[in-house]
Amino acid sequence: MLGRLGLWALLPTAVQAPPNRRTCVFFEAPGVRGSTKTLGELLDAGPGPPRVIRCLYSHCCFGIWNLTQGRAQVEMQGCRDSDEPGCESLHCDLSPRAHPSPGSTLFTCSCGTDFCNANYSHLPSPGNLGVPGPQGTQATPGESIWMALVLLGLLLLLLLLLSSIILALLQRKAYRVQGGPQPEPNSGRDWSEELPELPELPELCFSQVIQEGSHAVMWAGRLQGELVAIKAFPPRAVAQFRAERAVYELPGLQHDHIVRFITAGQGGPGSLPSGPLLILELHPKGSLCHYLTQHTSDWGSSLRMALSLARGLAFLHEERWQDGQYKPGIAHRDLSSQNVLIREDRSCAIGDLGLALVLPGFSGSPAWAPSQSQGPATIMEAGTQRYMAPELLDKTLDLQDWGTALRRADVYSLALLLWEIMSRCPDLSPGPWWTKGALGRLLGCSRSTTDS
């Protein structure tokens, strides 16, 4: 009826994408709320629309068309945020999704080849739109039979789902009673297919557990004979692994007071299931929290820890060009004494970038997309509650300038860390109080046993 839109002819033939990056048509009609620019890298293909976008997080293009009175108008085109069902299609096969207004139907498509969203291959016939109108339609007898069959199928599917949940709960209870490991959610899913680029690390050796968190376990180990820290994620935490790895791999993120990222891979200790791994620099003295409960420090050592911590956070927050590389500003959002490590010279190194968020850049800077979406819920998310700024606790953070607001929230956490450091300096307030471990109990860390 409508034929093809012919947007392919408007694309320059000079635009070529690398073989491992999907390239899609990018267009957003005036008045469309939200934007998908951050899901890819916009290429200047010409003076006017459509433009070209190179996908960052998927190999899938999408398109949205509005059919009104027999005429189709493109609303949005660009990159999907992930490879979901439907992306395997080679062409843009439209399917109806919604009625934004009477007499109007939105059609969408997803496809997995370069520029496949430039135009659509066909429209469903008017009798097969599959989206109810605003007032609904009267079903024919044949449709009633089909509706009954569909409802019966849904009921059977619901019963099967309930049965699976009950069986999983019974298995979990049996494992707990027998003292065995509890099965992980989605353990039957092959996570390695989601991250096929991760190399196996047969030369990696696991020694002992350093710390256990909600999404990962930190091990000490060796990689090719070098002492390293191994952050092992279970298969269910692929999203958390992907987000933290994306921050560590940002260009220019090398600093003496930021934990050094070595590589990423897959593997596991002994007979435990294999999972994604982050290999990081090891600091045997442990976390700042542990160190402060075990030692006091003179004024010089306390000042060294405080200055190194402030310099590391300032580097994270800073947006800079260096040696031809652009480093965006980064908010840590989980700055606590558990996530700061002590180096051999007793200076600090900031680690655990699992909640870190890339901040909006100045005009003219590359459009780096953060590891997570920038919705209000994501921006308000933070880590350890007792280190959170009041505006995060009471949900009053300034979302109009959230980049500056998150930097200030990090500085609030930094101030608490400086208080912890100076509270363990007997040169400032000598006395027997320092040997009783009161600070450690206040911070929820282990009790003090020795002083330096």
CA distances from 18 to 15, 114, 147 (A): 10, 11, 47
Query: 35, exposed or middle or buried, with CB in 10 Å at 0-12, 13-18, 19+?
Result: exposed
Using alpha carbons, select from 77, 58, 63, 50 the residue that is nearest to residue 108.
63
As a whole number of angstroms, the distance between CA 38 and CA 55 comes to 9
Annotated active-site residue 334? The verdict is yes
Query: Of 44, 81, 114, 334, which is the active-site residue?
Result: 334
Element (H, E) at 103: none
Pairing of strands 204-212, 104-111: unpaired
Residue whose pair of structure tokens reads 């958390």 in the numeric block: 240
The identity of residue 134, as a single letter, is: P
DSSP 98: E
Six-digit token pair at 221? 């180990």
With beta carbons less than 8 A apart as the criterion, state whether 335 and 389 touch.
no
As a whole number of angstroms, the distance between CA 345 and CA 320 comes to 27
Angle subtended by helix axes 299-317 and 402-423, to nearest 10: 170
Residue whose pair of structure tokens reads 């003295």 in the numeric block: 285
Element (H, E) at 350: strand 348-350
With beta carbons less than 8 A apart as the criterion, state whether 388 and 414 touch.
no
Using alpha carbons, select from 314, 184, 333 the residue that is nearest to residue 247.
333
As a whole number of angstroms, the distance between CA 327 and CA 317 comes to 10
| Residues belonging to the active site | 334
